Structure formats: C-alpha cells, structure tokens
A and B are shown apart, each in its own frame.
Chain A
C-alpha cells in the first residue's frame, strides 16, 4: 500500500509537440504541449478544436504523427497496454448493448479491466451504481436508458479500475443540473491523486472544478494556466455595453469585441480594452468566460 501511494504521487502527464493531420488534410493537433499534474484539468475549446482527438490520443485510441506523451514514466504512444491499465475513459459519444442490463455489462467490463475477484467486483459495482444513481435501474436493459442514464453509466464504467488517469470527454452533455452537480462532486472526490482531464466547451464546468486548464482551438494550445490567475490577468480590461442589434458590426469594427450575447432580447457585448473606452461602456469583473472568448477571438 505504501509503495503504491508513493508511486501515485508521481502521476504527471506530459504532452510535448503533439501533432496530427488527418488523411483529409485537417490539422487536428498542431504541436500541442501541455503539462498536467494530479487534479482536475479542464480542456476548453469550441467544437472541432481538436479536444476529442487529443483525448483519444491520450486514451491510446489514436496515433499522433509527431510528438510524445508520457504519463508517470509511461510512453503513452508506445506502451499502450501500460496506459490502459491505469486509464479510465469516457468517450464523447458511445452506445451500449441494448439487450443486456447495466449490471451485467458493468460486471463484464470489470472483468476485462482485471478485477477478477468476484466479491470485490460485486461490491465495487454496487458502489459505483449507487454513486451514479443507477442502482435502482441496474436490472433494466440498457436499451431503455435515457441519455442522462447512459452518460452516468459511462461514468461508472470509467471509474471501474480506480484510474490514475481519467479522461472524460464532454461528460456533462445531456445531464440535468442535478446530475451535473453530482458528477462534479464525484470528479472532485476522485481528483485528489488522479490526473483528471475534462474536456468541455462549457466554461462554467471548468470554472467550478479545475485548478488548471488549457484553451485549445484549431489544434493549438492558446493558453494554459490556473483559471484564477488567468482571470486576474484580465482584471480591469473587460467592459460591457448593451446595444441595438444593428449596431454590432459597427462595434466590431471599432472595438475588440470578445463576445456578444442576448439579455432580454438585446445584445450585450463584452470588449477588451487596455484603457477605459468610455462611450457608455461599463467595467465588469472578468470571468473565465471572458478569458475564453478573448483567446478564441484573437486566435
């Protein structure tokens, strides 16, 4: 036990210069380098930014053209088997056998993860089912599960082997707010001595959970850091204004508009400015969202 704990403290994922170009010419990863330590790591980016490609590559399911990944001394791209032993992975999209029950499939997957002791296995499965609030539905065929239930099942299976590296790709999609909360709590609990990578395009998820994060877009890392620090860097430089709909283009031309959204049917824009822009703009305290949009916008 002591040895294993000591070993665990070395968990660290290092990604350097990772590149991947698909056969259709799309450059999904462009020399990505990241250092990820234990705890929750948020990977933020719009759809198509390359998040899933990166996640799959870390999860041993995809090859990179260049670069390397290492986790706790394991060369992820070469020694896939070793990675798989410590990995928990929840893909963005997945299906389940419709005609078998949650319990059966979880049991099957547990054996394949190497949990061969029957008693231990059933205890573990029971706990996970409770934890994901599926215990009551464990005897139902997976075909009858709703989207949220399926997602929770996916989480349960990812946690089966007490992973040291947990990769969750857009995990909260399809969950209701309650379920999302519960899931976040669960991740927090786990992240103590695990590397958890959470990919999402929902800024709030990262804000609530992650001590560290990166923003990627078009296959490149735009920014890596602690959310709080990143927000602090923008302190006093974000202004907002409520405008008319037809004015957006004018503002875009004159200011560095980082986001616009509707409030009561009228657009509210956020701009980035080193000096106060005046013009009825009102200083706001920066949010993570502003960090995100400012980076995406400028890239």
Chain B
C-alpha cells in the first residue's frame, strides 16, 4: 500500500510545474555557483573543480536552497489539509504507516531529483565561457557524485525529515520555513565555536567541516583527493542523519489521523446567553462615507490589520528571536583588529547590526510579502474582500504599509538593542541620529524597494511558490549585478549604499548621490506599484490575459496621475543623476576601465626603461578647499640627470583620477610637447637642449582637482570635507607608472597580457629604490606651503617654519631640514593637537624631537598609547639600531574610509578605524595601537634610513624588519604571554593564507607582494631567529647593516641599494656555525614542520624529583617553487617543554630547553623539580608547525 502512495506522490509531483522549476533554479544557479560562492575568495593554486571545491560548493548550495527543501518536504501532508482533503483521505482504509512512509519517500525521491540539478549544473559550469581551462582539472564524474551522495543527500535527508515532520504536525507552512532559518542560525552560530570538534559537528551543511578536515592538506592533495568520509566529517554526517531519524520517529508517533486536532493551548471563550429577541432588533442605518478621509481611515485600518496579523505570528517571533541571537553573538566582535575590539561606536553598531540583521529582514520580506499578497485567497476570504468598495490601491497599499510597519518596529528594536549593547559595554555616546539616519536612509529604503518588487512579482506570477522563487532569483541577480558592478547604477535596482560613516567626516559627500538614487528608485517603485495595483487579482479572473483586458477599466484617475507623476519624477531624477555622473563627470564602466588600463600597458610599457631625470627638489604651494572638495597645487620640481647618457625628452604622467587636471607644465629651457598619448594623460616633452649628465632642469606645473556634482562609482575618498589625505602619488609623475597596470591574473589574461613580471632577481640590484610606494627617485628636498579652510589645520612633513591667516584661510609653511624619500602626504582637518618631546638616551647632545598626535576631537582614548609607543620605539631603535634622523614625528588621523597607517618621513597618517577607536582591554588584548605605532615608527629606519633596491625580498627588509622591531618594543613593555598571543594569531594567519595564494609561495628572502609572508611569517620567523641567536646578536647585525647601507649619511657601502643577500650576510656573521641552518630554514627555504607528542608519562624519583618521558614525532618538510612538499631529514634544535600547575592553579612552563632532534621519532627524558602535568614539543609554537594542537600531552603516572 505504501508503495501505491509513493507512486501517487511521484506522479502528482511529476505533473507539477514547480518540480521542474525548482530543478531549473538549482541547475542554473549551480552553473554560476562557483563564481557566486568563491567570488573574492582566493583559491590559490587549487583548481576550481578540485573534488574538495566541488564538495564545498555542494555543501553550501544545499544549505542556501534549504527553502526549496522546505517547499518540497513541508507540504505532502499539509496539502491534504489545505485542500480540505483530510476527511476524505483519513476515512479510507489507509494505515498511518503506509500514508506517512509513502508520502515521505515519494517526496524525498522527488527532492533528490530536484537537487541532482546541482551535479549537472556544477559540472556544466566548468565549461562556461568565463571559466578558464587552466584553472580546471579534467572532468571526473566521481568528483561530483561522491559529494552528492555523502554531503548533499544526508543534508536533504535531515532537513527534509524535519520539514516533513514540522509541516505535518503544525500544518502551517510558515512554521516550516522558519525551520530553515533555524538551520542558518545554527550554521552561523557554529562558526563562533572555538572547539573544532564541536564546531565541525554542529555545522549543518558541513561546508566548514570540509574546510577543517582539509586544512592541513598540501596543494597536491587538494587537487586530487576526494573528501574522505571519516573523522569530523563522518561524525557530522552521522549526527545530522540521526537528528533526521529522531525527527521522523517523533513525527510518526505524534501524527494522528484524527481530523480534529487537539490544540495544546486553547483559549476557551464560553458562549454568552443573550436575552434579546431577534425580531425586535432593528438594524440601524450607518452612514457610508466615500470621501478622502474615509480612504485614509481604510488605509490605516488595513495597514494595522496586516501589521497585527504578522506581529502575532509565532513564526515571525521565531525569526526575530533567531535574529537577536545572531546579533548578540556577532556584535561581540565589533571591528576587531588583532583580537582587540573597537569601542562600540554607533556607526560600527549600525554596520554590524545591518550586516547581521539583513538576512533576517530578507527572510521576513520574502515570506511575508508573499503571505500578505496571498492572505485572503489562502483562507478563501477573497470573494468577500474583493467585493468590498475599497480601491485596488488601498487594498495593496494596506498590505504594503503593514509590512513597512513591521520593518519599522524591527529597526527600532535594533536601535534599542544597539543602545543596550553600548550600555552593557559602558559606552554612553549613543548618537541616535546616526542610528536613525543609517537605518532609515539605507536599510529601510532597501527593504521598501524590494518589497515593491516582491509585490509586483507575486501579483504577476499568480502562484505562491513560483512567486517566491522568482523573488529569490530577482534578489540574487540584482545582488550579483552589484557585486560584479555590472552596468551603470541607473540600471541597477535599488541604487547606492550610503557609504561609510566617519566621525571625522560624517556622511560626507556620499549623502547627495545616495539620496538622489533613493528618490529615483522610489519614483520607479511607486509607478511599479500602480501597475501592481491594476494587475492585482480581484475576483476570479486570474489569467494574465484576462487581467490585461481588465486593467483598462482599473486605471482610475488618481492611480493614473500617481503613476504619471512618479514616472515624471523618475525621468527627472534619472536625468539629474545622469547629468552629474556622465556629463559633469565622465563615466566609465568597469570593463572600459580595465580596457583602458590594459591599453595603457600595451601602448606605453615600451617607454618604461627610457631614461628619465631624477627628482631632487620639490616646492609646492597647495591650496586646499575642503568645503568644495577642490584643491590646486602649483610649484616646481628640480630634475637632475643622474645617468651616463644625456636625456632628450621628459615624460609626465598625470594621476588617473578624472577629477584631476594638469593646468600647465613648463620647463625653463623650453620644450615642444608631444601629445600622442594624451588619452593616457601621458605627455612627452622634447627638450630643446638635451639634459646632460649631472645637469638639472626646473619644471613648473599646476594641477587642479575639481569636484563637480557627483560621480557614479568610487567617489574620491581622500579629498573630503574633513580629513583630506593627499599624497604625492596624485601629483605629476616622471615617466611610465606601472601602478596603472592590471594586476589581476584573470583580467590580464582577458586582455592578452602575460603574467606581470615579478621583481628582479637580487643579483640585478640597480641603483633604483624601492618602488612599492611609487617611489623610484633619490632623496629629495621638500618645501610645502599649504593653505586650507579657516577651521582646519594642514600638515606636511618637516619643520613648521611659519603659520598665518590670510583671507580667512589658514596657511602653513613646512620645510624639511634633511633630504628625504620622495614619499609624502598632505593632510587637513579640524584637528586637536597633543604635543610631547622625546630625548635621546644614546646621544645626549641632540635637540629633543617634537612629538605630536593630531586627532579628531573625541578620539582621545588611545592618544596616550600612541605617545608612549612613539617614545618607547624611538628609545629602542635609537639605542639598538641608529639615531633618529628627523627633528619631529607626527601621527595624523584620517577618516576611516581607508584602514591603514602609513609611515612617511617623520609623519604617520593613521586611520580613524584602526588606532583611535580601539577599545583595548589590557588584560585580554594585545595593545594593537602600541604595536601598530611601533611598526610605523620602525619604518623611519626600515624604509627611510635604509632604502632597498627593487628586487625580490625587498619587502622583507622594509616590512619584516619593521615587524621584528615593533615586536621587540612590545616585548620590552608587555608580558611574554601577550607576545605569544600575538605571534599565535600571526602564525595562524600565515598558515591560512598561504594556501589561498594565487601565486606560488616564495621563501621570505625572495618575497614579492605577498603580505602573509612579509608581515605574518616575517614576525614569527624573526621571533624564532632572535630566540635561536639572541636579540642582542640580531640587533648587532641590524646596526651594522644600517651603518653600511643607510641613505642618511649619504654614503652607501656600494653604488646600489641593499638586498636580502646583504641583510642575511649580516645575520650569518653573528650566528654560530651550529645554527647557520636556522637562517637557511627561516629565510631561504619554505620550511614546515609536523611536530607532535604521542605519549607522555611521569614518575616520582627517590630524590623527590620527577622524571618525565615523552615520545615525540618530528617531521620536517621543504616546499619547492611549485608548491610541492617534500620531506627532509630532521636534524634541528627544537624546544621541549614541561608544564606544572602554579600555586594559583595556572599552567606554568617550568622547563623549556632546546633539544637536538635528529630522528623523526624519539623518546626524551627530562628531570624536573616540581610535579609536572603536561609536556611536549615546541610548546610556544616558534616553528611553522602544520598542526599545533597535538604538541602538548597530558602526562600519565607510572
């Protein structure tokens, strides 16, 4: 019998359109799923169709499309109730078992069919034109089937079981959908669990579980192995299948064939006796109004009615509660940097709340917009409703406003929870206006627009399920268009985001375009709403053709006027936007930009090696107009020919920003201009007289930055109303600028450009400096006069010679006493200033250095940390390396649109986001502000005292040494635990990012652009170096290195800048022979270890001491230039440690010594004085160990 029911179910589904529609949705989504899921994630050298990648796509896609599972599995029993079939069904002689089993299995088979679309879609996706065959492995069917069977089907089973049971027992579809939300909450929650086993187990879709179990895989393994069903993944699948089984059992027991259901909670209202005779009752006449006021009252009543109907839904509250749980958990990590949280500033709260809540808003939007459209028809009240004398517009608008009221309540509760969170953190600067502005001009309009769209789609499609699917498709496609920046924003539904809020600059100049787009789309949506109202279903004519015929008489006058008025508004606003973005400013689509950059390289690359004079003097008169976002720079460059040959022409490259114009460029000796490459803003000036070796020439120029209206994309974030951060990159540059070249490998390939040439080999070190910051000149002399608004203060490097007011503007005259690198910034804002001095301990005669922090009022929290870091750093570097070369050192705050700190000569622009608003808990956190400051101060040595040649490894000298220096300052001021804590984060980041590198990993001494190597690995390896050869030896080597290679005294050891070959030789000089291998391992090779402790025992000796015996395993690997790991014989000094409980009950390292490990397996015996608890190898993780969790083992007593 059950088989008959199963057959019936399958046949029924086979005739339903939505079955195929669901399949199609999954199929088509799967085709783009790779790009959708991994867009922006770097897979590194892992192939795009590697089994592990396919498995993860399948895992997460079966999660994303849980809604389809719920639509398929929630309904089989529910359907009978909805169609009023239950009485008919249940009187038949069907056994409960047959009925349930048949329906479940039938639906499940259909579900598996629907999801098989994944397999086909993902496989086909690999052959799409935008995919690159170089990134793909040959097709293997099993790579697709294996995860489908082991990952997807179990997910479908447990979720399907739960949906089936909840649909059967609750008989309410919304309850079913809500469960899908619960799964997502579990998915998100599980990512916050630190315990890996638990996190892997609880993650319902096993997307991250696959990530965990393949974490330590090498490249070759990733590209070949199927994800094995064992360990965490096996537990995970078994756990969730078990939950599915439990759900089915519960459902089976609880299901009853009785048609009348016993409600658990039933409010009993007794009938009252009414002592009135019916015939005596006269029905009074009530006045029926038709005026405008009546319409308003009706609209209000409608809106409140629908609002209440949602507000009272259990499902609504369960979505809400899920949302709150997520938000509470997420908000704990506000703007975290290196483990330290930011202060719960309102704008951060808003960003965080929107990010966490948006998903739940979307769920509410999608579900309830559909529910409301279908509300009357769902319970068959529609004929009564439709015959009421209420206009189509009011009917629909009532539903619409009802939903908006729901959003409003949610947003207000978000504000309240944000404020409560702030209070809980002891933060009382609530800035309610920021809450309301951000919520009600950004997320609220977004919801409004998509609700309009959803209403339209539901009305037109006239099928609840198809409507839902189309709404989702619409959402995903508009989001995809946004992500891909596809087309002009005028054609992208919904408009622009409001942009970041900065305390320095408020909403800045982003507000006007944002509001313009809001009005534009609102007008569009209102017109759309008019159409929706006219096509809304009223009565029994549901066919689209009939509704089209009917629509003619439904266009009422007010409705027509409304639609026409909004269309006029739409066109006007669109024209206004177009005028701003495309006429006042020039609009380039993304592909046009890419093409321009590609052509730049194709056309001009050949001039890169043309000899150009070097910059030696820079004099600038800068006028900043922050209120208009304009500036002008007028001044001159003095250029000198340092080459052996004479120079006949000079090329000037204007910065790429379209708002910049080069008013004039002139050379005193006279030139003729060649504008062949004007399209690229590249001008060649042919000199009348060639510039001979050693001669100089003066170049006068004026450059303007003009803001007119607003631009469509990437509005300038450096020239703002408060917090200008202009740097010399934006000034005219001499010669070809390789910054304009395309850097993305795929983009380059698309335009037929080969792989960008990496840095030159170290042996080719020329007399050219470090090019990373666009600097390839010698030291320059700098003088800048900068004028700004009367309310602001402007900054540039050097001594402030003079400060004055003129025509209600502030002027500042800066001049560098010493030559400096051609790298400087000009900042302007309403600054507060705090000053201090630093006196050198090593050279008593030098004048004190002026220290300043210029900050935005209200950002005082971390000023002391910065000041103290500057002093400690100057102390340490001045003592250990060499004297500080400038007379001042300034930290200057800039708005949080850019998140970094950058070290210019004696000036450190520091982002609002990373230093000023961090809330450092000295117990829990590493003092990040201190560390970042120390790092930037270190660049005054590594970068500004030692300049490097533009070769492989240059960034190890600049960045890794700055990391090392900062770490040593940190170590001198903070506890060992803080240092270890910090290193641990850096080590993890390195291990994580090295597998997602698009390029092959390079050894540190050859590092190119990979920041996970020069920052993360750099700090860990330098820590290991000083651990092996002592801090003093490292510093001795570094001070010798500076002595020989600094640019301050004007005497380089050789006629070139140094490379890592030079640096490493200084280290080798201070390293004993026995440890020379350490330098090779740390810097010249990519070395990995796999260290673990297998067994550990302890026994008490007769003399009261303890003997600890551990079995350690130590494997060492070297990774070659193709990313392949090979095992090498170990013969290394490695820490062995023993822990004991301290009197206060904390684990304390009582023994740590380096042991020579020369076998992969070894038993080690250690005698300690105190009673030990655990022991193991490399307890402080100084080496790059693939897995650190197994290093320490609890000791057993013999």
Contact = CB atoms under 8 A, between A and B. Distances in A.
Given A89-B383, A154-B384, A81 B284 contact: no
Contacts of B389: 81, 84-85, 87, 112-114, 161
Interface in B375-404: 379-381, 383-391
Interface string B243-283: 00000000000000000000000010101111010110111
Interface in A71-105: 78, 80-81, 84-85, 87, 89-91, 93-99
Contact of B302 (A112, A116, A128, A144): A112
Given A78-B553, A157-B384, A185 B274 contact: no
Nearest to A125: B286
A87 B384 CA distance: 11
Contacts of A141: 267, 269
Contacts of B273: 136
Interface string B538-571: 1111010010011001001000000000000000
Given A111-B301, A114-B289, A133-B278, A61 B284 contact: no
B312 interface: yes
B379 A97 contact: yes
B281 A123 contact: no
A109 interface: yes
B269 A139 contact: yes
B279 A185 contact: yes
B391 A63 contact: no
Contacts of A162: 283, 285-286, 288
Contact of B297 (A81, A116, A128): A116
Contact of A116 (B294, B379, B387, B539): B294
B1077 interface: no
B380 A95 contact: yes
A89 B379 contact: no
Nearest to A161: B288
Contacts of B305: 108
Given A62-B539, A154-B384, A131 B286 contact: no
Interface in A126-155: 127-128, 130-131, 133, 135-137, 139-141, 144, 154
A128 B283 contact: yes
A23 interface: yes
Interface string B287-324: 11110011001100110010001001000000000000
Contacts of B550: 63
B276 A135 contact: yes
Nearest to A131: B281
B459 to A, nearest CB: 17
A135 B302 CA distance: 24
Nearest to B387: A89
A32 to B, nearest CB: 17
A61 B281 contact: no
A115 B288 contact: yes
Contacts of B380: 93-95
A62 B543 CA distance: 12
A159 interface: yes
A80 B553 CA distance: 9
Contact of A130 (B281, B285, B309, B390): B281
B961 to A, nearest CB: 70
A205 to B, nearest CB: 19
Contacts of A184: none
A120 interface: yes
Secondary structure at the B interface, as helix, strand, loop or mixed, is loop
Contacts of B289: 114-117
A182 interface: yes
A59 B387 contact: yes
A130 B274 contact: yes
A120 B288 CA distance: 10
Interface string B116-159: 00000000000000000000000000000000000000000000
Contacts of B388: 84, 109, 112-113
Report which residue of A63, A78, A87 has the largest number of chain B beta carbons within 10 angstroms of its beta carbon.
Answer: A63
Contact of B386 (A61, A85, A130, A185): A61
A203 B309 CA distance: 42
Interface string A52-65: 00001001111100
Contacts of B298: 111-112, 114, 116
A27 interface: no
A121 interface: yes
B549 A63 contact: yes
A141 B312 CA distance: 14
Report which residue of B305, B385, B388, B390 has the largest number of chain A beta carbons within 10 angstroms of its beta carbon.
Answer: B388
B283 A124 contact: yes
Given A109-B388, A111-B297, A112-B388, A117 B287 contact: yes
B287 A115 contact: yes
Contact of B288 (A81, A93, A98, A113): A113
Contact of A61 (B294, B301, B302, B387): B387
A214 B290 CA distance: 35
B260 to A, nearest CB: 11
A25 to B, nearest CB: 14
A84 B294 CA distance: 15
B391 A87 contact: no
A284 B276 CA distance: 44
A95 B385 CA distance: 11
Contact of B541 (A62, A97, A131): A62
Interface string A247-259: 0000000000000
A287 B390 CA distance: 44
B278 A131 contact: yes
A63 B546 contact: yes
Contact of B391 (A81, A97, A131): A81
A108 B271 CA distance: 22
A133 B289 CA distance: 27
Contacts of B312: 99
Report which residue of A63, A112, A121, A123 has the largest number of chain B beta carbons within 10 angstroms of its beta carbon.
Answer: A112
Contacts of A115: 286-289
B543 to A, nearest CB: 6
Given A62-B541, A115-B288, A116-B297, A96 B381 contact: yes
A60 B383 CA distance: 10
Contacts of A110: 286
A197 to B, nearest CB: 13
Given A62-B539, A112-B302, A124-B286, A84 B381 contact: no
Contact of B539 (A60, A99, A128, A131): A60
Nearest to A109: B388
A97 B388 CA distance: 17
A97 B290 contact: no
A91 to B, nearest CB: 4
Nearest to A157: B384
A48 to B, nearest CB: 16
A42 B1165 CA distance: 107
B540 A61 contact: yes
28 contacts: A59-B383, A61-B387, A62-B541, A81-B389, A81-B391, A81-B556, A84-B388, A85-B288, A85-B389, A91-B383, A98-B379, A111-B297, A113-B389, A114-B298, A115-B286, A115-B287, A115-B288, A116-B293, A116-B294, A116-B298, A127-B281, A127-B284, A130-B274, A131-B283, A136-B274, A139-B269, A154-B384, A182-B278
Interface of A: 23, 56, 59-63, 78, 80-81, 84-85, 87, 89-91, 93-99, 108-117, 120-121, 123-124, 127-128, 130-131, 133, 135-137, 139-141, 144, 154, 157, 159, 161-162, 182, 185
Closest 9 CB pairs of A and B: A61-B539, A95-B380, A84-B389, A95-B379, A91-B383, A120-B286, A136-B272, A114-B288, A85-B389
Interface of B: 267, 269, 271-274, 276, 278-279, 281-290, 293-294, 297-298, 301-302, 305, 309, 312, 379-381, 383-391, 538-541, 543, 546, 549-550, 553, 556
Given A56-B540, A85-B288, 10 more contacts: A56-B539, A60-B386, A80-B553, A94-B384, A95-B380, A116-B297, A123-B286, A130-B274, A131-B278, A162-B286
